[in-house]
Amino acid sequence: MAYDHWIADSVTARLILGHVIGRYCGLRIPENDKPMAFYPGTYRDAFASRLRGAGLAGATLRSLRSWAQQRLAGWPTDISTLPMDVRYEVHRLQPGTVERLRAFAHSCGAKVHDVILAALARAMAESSSAYFPRSPRRGLGLGTIVDTRPGADADLSQSLGMFLAYYLVHCR
């Protein structure tokens, strides 16, 4: 199944695919006993406590700070010459790799996602000088997707929709 984040998030894709596979294969999947729902009102309703007063003011300040930091990140001098193809590879990890990665992240007071983002930043920084040869900026900006469902005021575990945000990390 392929889906576009403009339309849905992975939770929505999982909910729909679970129903499709369950019906197609004649399986009884316990999750399918709960009805799927659309947005509980509006996005503003689902995140009401975060979109008023101090929460909204804090979000505005964080957005402005993030914008200012990203202005320090380098931009390619001629983006039309950069390879823009998309590829992927599948690799099998050695048994125990995920547990070691979780333990390492925990020892750093971080999450696995943070460790992977840091590794990606390190790998990109080592090769980015080729893409930014004349840039006076010395930073690297990375964006990552965040699932906002856990921060909602309503239970969105069975809701169809797109409940994603992003945050930017600026690396020197």
Residues 81-112 pLDDT 10s: 667 777 788 889 899 999 999 999 999 999 99
| pLDDT on residue 98 | 92
Alpha-carbon span 137 to 122, nearest angstrom: 17
pTM (predicted TM-score): 0.63
For 46-86, the pLDDT digits (tens) are: 888 877 777 778 878 888 887 776 666 666 566 666 677 77
Confidence of residue 160 (pLDDT cuts 50, 70, 90): confident
Per the CB < 8 A criterion, the answer to whether 168 and 139 are in contact is: no
Q: Which residues contact 166 (CB under 8 A, 6 or more apart)?
A: 143, 144, 145, 146
What's the average model confidence in pLDDT over 10-35? Answer: 86
What's the average model confidence in pLDDT over 113-141? Answer: 73
For 132-155, the pLDDT digits (tens) are: 655 555 667 787 888 889 989 888
Residue 45: closest CA among 165, 152, 172:
152
Exposure pattern of 85-111 as b/e (b: 16+ CB <10 Å)?
eeeeeeeeeeeeeeeeeeeebeeeeee
Cite the DSSP H helix spans in the chain.
Answer: 10-25, 43-46, 53-70, 97-107, 112-127
Q: What is the mean pLDDT of the chain?
A: 80
Alpha-carbon span 166 to 132, nearest angstrom: 24
